């Protein structure tokens, strides 16, 4: 047992599961199948950890304490019920996955020290598709990975030892994940060949390992693959040769992987090939691939992160935030029924604070998914603490008003995809505390009704400590972490003041004159992107009228997004009674003080925490403090120099 490696599956880590031994010693498995086999194996693992021996298999319930697994057709797919009594613990699932989820749920909560009574739970998944996207490359690197190397590939080949991947499948299925795309959306040369004989036998082994845990495998594909692999003269989605090429590929994939999930596609984005090269639209591109997969039950997941990354900063009217809506809204209703559009939570790119994408709710005749970034590209890179569940929840709970009040994003989408934060580090996530985001993503998309607090508490108790006081402190740290990170980085939703390409650390003008379309427009008088219809780019008009009016009007625009929607003078008075510039100074001084408090709070827990977790995270809190000071000083100095306005509290600003 290793507390770092086991994450939230560290059964028996602090004696809190002792009471379950009475049940786990006798397993009565009244259903069968490969996923049920994994559920049974998990119970065996737990018992072995607790009692040091194997449980007994029995064929009929035993009244002196046993653990029963069975299918209950009255429950829905993926749903489960856990019933705890003196005699037995029964986990029933609507299907095999439901049984597995119920088993994990029981074990995770029991090992977090939750009481037996509180474990009588009935749950069902809110979304049918709960997906993880790996941004792993064949050479073993991970795009935007902060946790070591890829666990999927080494030296241009898929790994052959399935141990680590099986443990990953355990972690993912324990929070209800049922699909995984195993390669980067940017499909480079080697990965283009993943859909050929050269790789399929090895990829099939990975698919098999994940199938044992009820997780379907997807591959990211290169839209130009027919040209690159077989030298076809075109990749035009309406060309007969191209259509047949993909059909043959699909047929062959299903020979190797009978339960293959389908393709994930990044097309016409950031220099990737796509249908635009042939004068075709995204529906034509996606539907051609969808037709190839359809006979086998496969899906196409098509990303809406499509924008022009070669814009001219001199042109104040172009607005990258408008791109996804402009590209996809006109195509609503044109996509095949096995196409899902994957929409990033915000219209830009995973900033610490941005508006919710206006595309949600606007595509009423199209299957849509939400895309979240678990890996902390712009949110601290698994150095700075940033618990992201509150941000994702904000998106799922956002009322689009597209079909009147109550049109929440969660009701407009059929599922979610989260960009993974794992790698080969012992603790999987670089910072062991970043495990809360992986756990939290799975839990939230299983049940968007859960609170960020409940999810944090479950995770802390299972993965770190069931000690009430220490767990309480860590939960408070997690729950304040996003605001802390935000307060010393981007003011009021403006975003993008990060070091270009690398995206960690401050560089206020790093993207200001670049072709990426990411501007804050600071001058001597003020700052912010004017996205109003009245005087700006007109982006607000992409929302349903209730939201359009809310954002358009300064008095109703949420303050945390003020500079995302408006260009304002530094002397603009906020509701707090502070000027905009004073808010910038205050939030940056306070943010950095709070980063220091995080470090001190963590240090106060030293005696109560597993040493390995303590030191891995302490090291990061120290770096976070330095990072926050650098942000504070650079931002405050920059805006003092632009505005010439002093901090009313006379704190240290470098002139
Ligand atoms: C961001 C990220 C890229 C990634 C892209 C995407 O821009 O920096 O690394 O490829 O998002 O989501 O496609």
For tokens 């994930």, name the residue.
264
Of 222, 109, 88, 254, give the one whose Cα is nearest residue 175.
109
Ligand 1 atom nearest to 135, measured from its CA: 10
Q: How far apart are the first and last CA of the chain?
A: 54
Q: Does the active-site annotation cover 270?
A: yes
Q: How far is the CA of 580 from the centre of ligand 1 (A)?
A: 31
Task: Write the residue with the smallest CA distance to atom 2 of ligand 1.
Answer: 144
pLDDT of residue 43: 98
Choice among 251, 270, 312, 337 that is catalytic = 270
Contact 184, 263 (CB under 8 A): no
Contact 580, 554 (CB under 8 A): no
- What is the DSSP annotation of 119-148? G-EEE--S-SEEEEE--B-TTS-BTT--SS
Calculate how far, in angstroms, residue 406's C-alpha sits from the geometric centre of ligand 1: 31
Mutation choice for ligand 1 from 183, 305, 371, 375, CB with most ligand atoms inside 8 A: 305
Q: Check residue 249 and give its pLDDT.
A: 98
Is 377 labeled as catalytic in the residue annotation? yes
441 CA to centre of ligand 1 in angstroms: 19
- The pLDDT > 70 percentage for the chain reads 100
Residue nearest to atom 1 of ligand 1 (CA): 349
Q: Name residues contacting ligand 1 (CB within 6 A).
A: 143-144, 185-186, 266, 270, 305, 349, 377
* Given the residues 133, 319, 371, 377, the one annotated as active site: 377
Atom from ligand 1 closest to the CA of residue 184: 10
Say how many Å lie between the CA of residue 144 and the centre of ligand 1.
Answer: 8
Q: Which atom of ligand 1 is nearest to the CA of 266?
A: 13
The segments of the chain whose pLDDT lies below 70 read: none
Ligand 1: residue whose CA is nearest its atom 12: 305
Q: Give Cα 238 distance to the centre of its chain.
A: 34
In this prediction, residue 14 carries a pLDDT of 84
357 CA to centre of ligand 1 in angstroms: 16
State which of 142, 270, 273, 376 you would mutate to test the pocket of ligand 1, scoring each by most atoms of that ligand within 8 A of its C-beta: 270
Cα separation, 225 vs 192, in Å, equals 6
- Angstrom distance (rounded) from CA 565 to CA 581: 17
pLDDT at 474: 98
Contact indicator for 13, 111 with CB cutoff of 8 Å: yes
Q: Which two tokens stand for residue 199?
A: 């790789």
The rounded distance, in Å, linking the Cα atoms of 167 and 313 is 47
Measured from the CA of 144, which atom of ligand 1 is nearest? 9
Measured in Å, residue 501 CA sits from the centre of ligand 1 at 10
Q: Which of 134, 144, 514 for a ligand 1 pocket mutation test, highest count of atoms within 8 Å of Cβ?
A: 144
Take atom 11 of ligand 1 and give the residue whose Cα is closest.
349
Q: How far apart are CA 462 and CA 611, in angstroms?
A: 16
* pLDDT value, residue 490: 86
Strand segments (E) across 534-601: 568-569
SS3 68: strand
Position in ligand 1 atom list of the atom nearest CA 186: 10
pLDDT tens sequence across 404-459 = 999 999 999 999 999 999 999 999 999 999 999 999 999 999 999 999 999 999 99
Return the H-helix or E-strand segment holding 527: strand 526-527
Ligand 1 centre to CA of 353 (Å) is: 17
Residue located nearest, by CA, to atom 10 of ligand 1: 186
The active-site residue, picked from 191, 268, 349, 616, is 349
Angle at 422 between CA 416 and CA 427, to 5 degrees: 135
CB 567 within 8 A of CB 526: yes
- Alpha-helical runs (H) found in 2-142: 3-6, 21-24, 34-51, 96-111
pLDDT in the model for residue 405: 97
User: What integer pLDDT is reported at residue 12 of this predicted model?
Assistant: 87
Dist. CA 496–CA 377, nearest whole Å: 12
Rounded to whole angstroms, the Cα distance separating 394 from 91 reads 32
Pocket test for ligand 1, best of 349, 371, 373, 518 (most atoms within 8 A of CB): 349
Quote the ligand 1 centre to 223 CA distance (angstroms): 17
User: What separation in Å is there between the alpha carbon of 152 and the centre of ligand 1?
Assistant: 20
SS3 of 413-458: the string is CCEEEEECCCCCCCCCCCCHHHHHHHHHHHHHHHCCCCCHHHHHHH
Instruction: Return the pLDDT at 16.
Output: 87
Dihedral pair phi/psi, residue 123, rounded to 5°? -140, 155
């Amino acid at each position: 047992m290793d507390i770092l490696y086991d994450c939230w599956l560290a059964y028996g880590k602090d004696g809190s599961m002792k009471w379950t031994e009475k049940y786990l010693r006798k397993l009565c498995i009244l259903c069968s199948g490969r996923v049920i086999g994994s559920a049974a194996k998990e119970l065996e693992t737990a018992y072995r950890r607790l009692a040091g021996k194997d449980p007994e298999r029995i064929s009929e319930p035993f009244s002196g304490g046993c653990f029963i697994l069975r299918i209950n057709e009255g429950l829905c797919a993926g749903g489960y019920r856990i019933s705890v009594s003196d005699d037995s613990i029964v986990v029933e699932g609507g299907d095999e996955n439901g049984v597995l989820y119920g088993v994990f749920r029981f074990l995770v909560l029991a090992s977090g020290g939750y009481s037996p009574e509180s474990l009588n739970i009935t749950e069902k998944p809110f979304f049918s598709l709960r997906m993880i996207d790996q941004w792993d490359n064949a050479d073993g690197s991970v795009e935007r990975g902060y946790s070591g190397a890829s666990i999927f590939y080494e030296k241009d080949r898929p790994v052959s030892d399935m141990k680590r991947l099986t443990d990953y499948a355990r972690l993912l299925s324990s929070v209800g994940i049922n699909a995984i795309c195993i390669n980067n959306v940017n499909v480079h040369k080697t990965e283009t060949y993943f859909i050929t004989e050269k790789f399929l036998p090895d990829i099939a082994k990975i698919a098999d390992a994940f199938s044992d845990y009820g997780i379907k495998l997807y591959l990211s594909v290169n839209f130009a693959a027919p040209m690159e692999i077989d030298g076809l003269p075109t990749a035009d989605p309406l060309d007969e040769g191209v259509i047949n090429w993909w059909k043959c590929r699909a047929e062959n994939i299903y020979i190797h992987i009978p339960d293959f999930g389908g393709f994930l596609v990044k097309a016409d984005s950031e220099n990737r090939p796509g249908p635009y090269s042939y004068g075709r639209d995204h529906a034509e591109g996606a539907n051609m691939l969808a037709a190839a997969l359809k006979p086998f039950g496969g899906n196409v997941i098509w990303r809406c992160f499509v924008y022009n990354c070669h814009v001219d900063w001199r042109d104040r009217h172009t607005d990258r935030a408008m791109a996804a809506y402009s590209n996809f809204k006109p195509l609503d209703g044109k996509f095949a029924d096995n196409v899902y559009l994957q929409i990033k939570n915000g219209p830009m790119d995973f900033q610490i604070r941005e508006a919710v994408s206006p595309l949600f709710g606007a595509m009423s005749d199209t299957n849509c998914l939400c895309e979240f970034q678990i890996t902390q590209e712009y949110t601290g890179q698994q150095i700075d603490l940033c618990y992201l569940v509150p941000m994702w929840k904000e998106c799922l709970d956002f009322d689009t008003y597209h079909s009147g009040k109550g049109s929440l994003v969660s009701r407009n989408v059929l599922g979610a995809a989260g960009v993974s934060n794992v790698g080969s580090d012992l603790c999987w996530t670089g910072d062991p505390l970043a495990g809360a985001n992986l756990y939290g993503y799975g839990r939230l998309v299983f049940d968007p009704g859960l609170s960020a607090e409940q999810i944090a508490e479950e995770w802390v108790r299972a993965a770190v400590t069931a000690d009430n006081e220490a767990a309480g402190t860590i939960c408070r740290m997690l729950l304040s972490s996003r605001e802390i990170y935000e307060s010393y980085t981007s003011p009021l939703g403006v975003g993008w003041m990060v070091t270009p390409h690398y995206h960690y650390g401050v560089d206020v003008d790093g993207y200001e004159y670049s072709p990426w379309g990411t501007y804050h427009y600071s001058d001597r008088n003020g700052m912010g992107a004017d996205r109003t219809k009245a005087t700006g780019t007109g982006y607000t008009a992409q929302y349903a009228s209730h939201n359009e009016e809310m954002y358009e009007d300064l008095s109703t625009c949420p303050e945390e997004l003020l500079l995302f929607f408006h260009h304002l003078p530094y002397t603009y008075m906020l509701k707090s009674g502070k000027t905009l510039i004073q808010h910038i100074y205050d939030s940056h001084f306070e943010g950095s003080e709070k980063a220091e408090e995080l470090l001190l709070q963590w240090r106060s827990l030293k005696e109560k925490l597993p040493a390995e977790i303590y030191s891995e995270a302490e090291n990061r809190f120290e770096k976070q403090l330095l990072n926050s000071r650098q942000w504070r000083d650079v931002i405050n100095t920059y805006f003092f120099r632009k505005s010439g306005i002093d901090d009313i509290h006379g704190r240290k600003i470098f002139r």
